[in-house]
Structure 1
Amino acid sequence: MRNILLALCLLIPTSVKADGLGFMTPSKNIYCNGGVTGGGHLYCTIINRGGPIPLPKPASCNGYWGHEFYIEASGNVKMICSQRLESVDYTDIAHYGVSGEFGSVNCRSERTGFTCSNADGHGFFLSRRKQLVF
């Protein structure tokens, strides 16, 4: 029953409540996972990216920088130093035109990119051409 409801939610281009499962965009270039506990949070990774990196790489990062973003219900977006980048193959797709809520974190998947913001108005925009932190 749960799979049927989830499938219906992903087919209807409206707002859906996220339940902590991982998902990816139709391009398979951006994938996220998170949950609604503690007000909501979300980790998102973009595999193929271009343009300037939105935040300077810390000296302590010896891995990949500019690919992983973390947002909580409030506060600034954090970027994460990754030791390796790998694609996933989630069955749940955030189709273009669909919005989702992870507690106080709201996201929208569109052909132009993937945007998430929190209750404080902080967030990120991810696309193959550019990534922004606001």
Structure 2
Amino acid sequence: MYHALRLVSAIFLAVAATGVSQSRAESPSFSTPSGNILCYVPVHLGSFDAEADLFCHIFSADWTPPSEEFCDLDRTATIALGPKGNPSESMFCHGDVFWPVPTPVVSYGSSWSVLGYRCEIAESGVTCVNRDGHGFEIARRGRKLF
């Protein structure tokens, strides 16, 4: 998992180095003003894969998704959504340094979209949908997959 985290970090640094626009509409990631929710679409060598999944992590939640794998590191509740179909939830296993790359903060009442994903950011949580209209709501108090 450590190597995967290093890869994601390297990818985001590569995006920054290539001069890809980091506007809300084109940024591969965002976080809420509270910093509790972080969402991203993986980028490879400065470009998006049209079939990439959207991942949203919540760092402090009153709920816990199912977990099947052993992890002796930190865990973060995560929801993944593909370009088509239903979302899934899991516990993401990671080390202490989880997200070392600066992520644009999207203000409450705003939206973020990339690759057919659209997320609405509110003080009550984040709602994201894919091209098929499937998606999820994620918040400290709970989550809803649809």
Task: Find the partner of 1:72 among 58, 82, 91.
Answer: 82
Does structure 2 conserve the Cα–Cα contact (< 8 Å) formed by 1:30 and 1:44? Answer: yes
CA contact (8 A) 1:65 1:80 kept: no
3-state SS in 1 of match to 2:94: coil
Q: Residue type of the partner of 1:106?
A: R
Does the alignment pair 1:127 with 2:127?
Answer: no
- Give the structure, 1 or 2, with the largest relative contact order (CA under 8 Å, sep 6 or more): 1
Contact 1:98–1:108 (CA under 8 A) maintained in structure 2: yes
| Change beyond 3 A, Cα 1:37–1:83 | same
RMSD: 2.7
Residues 32 and 42, structure 1, Cα contact 8 Å, conserved in 2: yes
Instruction: Structure 2: state its 5+ residue gaps.
Output: 1-18, 43-47
1:27 is aligned to 2:34: yes
Q: CA-to-partner distance for each residue in 1:83-106, whole Å, 9 max, x for gaps?
A: 237554634101111111121111
TM-score normalized by the length of structure 1: 0.71
Partners of 1:107 and 1:115 within 8 A in 2: yes
Between the two proteins, the alignment pairs up a number of residues equal to 119
Identity of aligned residues (%): 24
Residue 61 of structure 1 corresponds to 69
- Partner Cα separation in structure 1 for residue 128 and residue 31 of structure 2: 14
Counterpart residue type for residue 140 of structure 2: R
In structure 1, list runs of 5 or more residues that go unmatched: 10-15
Q: Offset of 1:128 from its aligned partner?
A: 1.0
